[in-house]
Structure 1
């Protein structure tokens, strides 16, 4: 079934915008996003190996989907700390629209995985934990949830986070792609694209959201496993989201509205105003001056080279120069 957005009076969200939606007949709400120029700008300023860029892109998509759900001025930060070749990912979202990201990795270990053809996201992350932090501002308490990383995908990590921390049935799909174009007199030019969708089951009756108790891991042998039959509406919504193909999330020609229509047109999908996203760092000369002011004269001397102190922001790669 074709979708004509003009006939429906819908302006496409386009790239670099999160589109919230609801399928009220299934009691689900969600958000979908397609990333283009913002993602390309963030990854383009860092000379990361291809698998590291791909992994960071997944984390950026997930952060955009979750961060834009904030109903207040604040920050949402996704950070991994692991023993894997990519020891840390940091993606920071500041409401309403600012996203920034960076990665720390061991080049030799990443290269070894690439040569062996094993540079999967799970292998790059290894074992450790992922933290999701919500900062509501100066006079409010921060909230942080931790999820173990044990060789699973970021999609599975997100499912576990909502299952254990929020007790909300959640389904997540993330995908990263590359577009190659050739310009006259030049080699292939790579452009990053990515997309994702998150759907959550939020019925009016909390009883319908019941899930099985988590296995404590030390139950006596023979203990009956606690099972709860999933709600039919949630089963249907989850199965529909599982049909989403990577190419549907990464093809710039497939808008999020087209994707949501394909998934839910039989049930009816309600679209809300999109939230644009911007590549925007919060670093500034004034903030770095404040940090440097806290160092001793001896530490300042150790930082000084040829009469200058040079500080480079790990997120946006902006260089700031100071005299000693």
Structure 2
């Protein structure tokens, strides 16, 4: 016999760094919500990113966590942006069931100039380019990749376009990032990063109810093929759009309380939370295998005083190898 699904209030609060799956039967909506705290703080502080870069990467991490925890198999979901702006690369990947890592690359001089010129909005820092979502199920399988344009919209908006193109499911994504300042146990002022997000999808039993208007075809065609939205999805989407950044990131609100605020009239059900961890997949053996694949000349030019050092861009761990242990036999 199937076990009853707990309603809000029958489970302990998930707390930070746990994704909460939810369902709103009255609106035919399913989704996931999360608040990230210590895990996010560790990732961002490790690299001491400028504020603008940290905010962008935090949004990418939240989005990756929301999508990655929906994987039904052992594998990896990778989000990557490539653009011509000062922040030319964002990478965040989720390895099921719970591991997260992320990295940002930026031009410090160009970033400083852009902000000084009033071009510090997220889409301006990313510039024109592409956002790619890659799903990797491991060896002996083919990767799936969905690509959408970085075209002056936010990551939140671009994620919506991705769902329209790849899954054709009505979807609304909300992302928020905040900096908090408080004092630790010794009374010292402390800075912390927080972020949160919600993804809601319309999944009625009748697939024809999910029909959406066509996306604009370009060349001035902004109308597309108009289709009236389903009333229940319109209500759900409107409710999700009322969320503000404070609600997404406030530790005193919490994920379950936010879901209750949104959907209590329709009856929201929550499922057991899924934890997420700051855990990199790099290892000494993996890096040794990469370096050992270099030619003898390449190893010689890379080495210093008989050693080669390699630092992981994600977790900043540095590995040191003797030339003898990585040189071709």
TM-score > 0.5, shorter chain as reference:
yes
TM superposition shift of 1:218: 5.0
Give the 5 Å matches for 1:155-194: 155-182=156-183, 188-194=189-195
Query: The residue matched to 2:47 in structure 1 has which SS?
Result: coil
Deviates more, 1:91-100 or 1:104-113: 104-113
Matched ranges for 1:208-287 at <5 A: 208-217=209-218, 225-287=224-286
- The verdict on how the C-alpha distance between 1:206 and 1:109 changes in structure 2, with shifts beyond 3 A counting, is same
| 2:57 corresponds to | 56
Which ranges of structure 1 fall in alignment gaps of 5 or more residues?
A: none
Cα distance in 2 for partners of 1:90, 1:160 equals 19
User: Does 205-214 or 190-199 show the bigger shift?
Assistant: 205-214
Q: 1:178-211 CA distances to partner (integer Å, 9 max, x unpaired)?
A: 1112469987421000100000111111100011
3-state DSSP of counterpart to 1:45 = helix
In structure 2, C-alpha distance between the alignment counterparts of 1:244 and 1:290, rounded to whole Å:
47
Are the structure 2 counterparts of residues 319 and 70 from structure 1 closer, same or farther at C-alpha, using a change threshold of 3 Å?
A: same
- What's the counterpart of residue 31 of structure 2? 30
Matched residue SS, 2:88: strand
List per-residue Cα deviations over 1:59-118 (Å, max 9, x = no partner).
000000000000111100000011111110000100000000001111011111222343
Using the size of structure 1 for normalisation, the TM-score is: 0.94
Two-structure CA RMSD over aligned residues (Å): 2.0
**Counterparts of 2:217 and 2:192, CA distance in 1:** 45
Taking a change above 3 Å as real, the CA distance of residues 151 and 294 of structure 1, as seen in their structure-2 partners, is: same
Question: Structure 2: which 5+ residue stretches go unaligned?
Answer: 1-5, 324-329
Structure 1 residues 75 and 6 mapped into 2: Cα distance closer, same or farther (>3 Å)? closer
Residues 114-125 of structure 1: matches in 2 within 5 Å? 114-125=115-126
Shift in CA distance, 165/311, structure 1 to aligned 2, threshold 3 Å: same
- In structure 1, C-alpha distance between the alignment counterparts of 2:194 and 2:214, rounded to whole Å: 38
Q: Structure 1 residues 10 and 165, CA, compared in 2 at 3 Å: closer, same or farther?
A: same
CA distance in 2, matches of 1:114, 1:213: 36
Contact 2:7 2:270 (8 Å CA) reproduced: no
CA gap 1:35/1:113 in 2 versus in 1, 3 angstroms: same
| 1:305 corresponds to | 304
Distance in 1 of aligned mates of 2:34 and 2:235:
21
Deviation at 1:216, TM superposition (A): 2.6
In 2, Cα distance between equivalents of 1:195 and 1:158: 15
CA distance in 1, matches of 2:107, 2:137: 33
Secondary structure of the residue aligned to 1:29 is strand
Cα distance change of structure 1 residues 294 and 206 upon mapping to structure 2, 3 Å threshold: same
Matched, 1:44 2:45: yes
**Distance in 2 (alpha carbons) for counterparts of 1:9 and 1:24:** 17
Aligned 8 A contact 2:176 2:249 in 1: yes
Residues in 2 aligned to 1:194 and 1:131: alpha-carbon distance in whole angstroms: 22
Aligned position for 1:153: 154
After TM superposition, the score normalised by the length of structure 2 is 0.92
Partner SS state of residue 135, structure 2: strand
- Once the two structures are overlaid, the 10-residue window that deviates more, 180-189 or 309-318, is 180-189
Moved more, 124-133 or 204-213: 204-213
Which whole-Å deviations, capped at 9, do the CAs of 1:18-48 have from their partners, x for residues lacking one? Answer: 0000001101100000000000010111021
Counterpart of 2:3 in structure 1 is: none
**Structure 2 CA distance, aligned partners of 1:7 and 1:80?**
36
Name the count of aligned residue pairs.
318
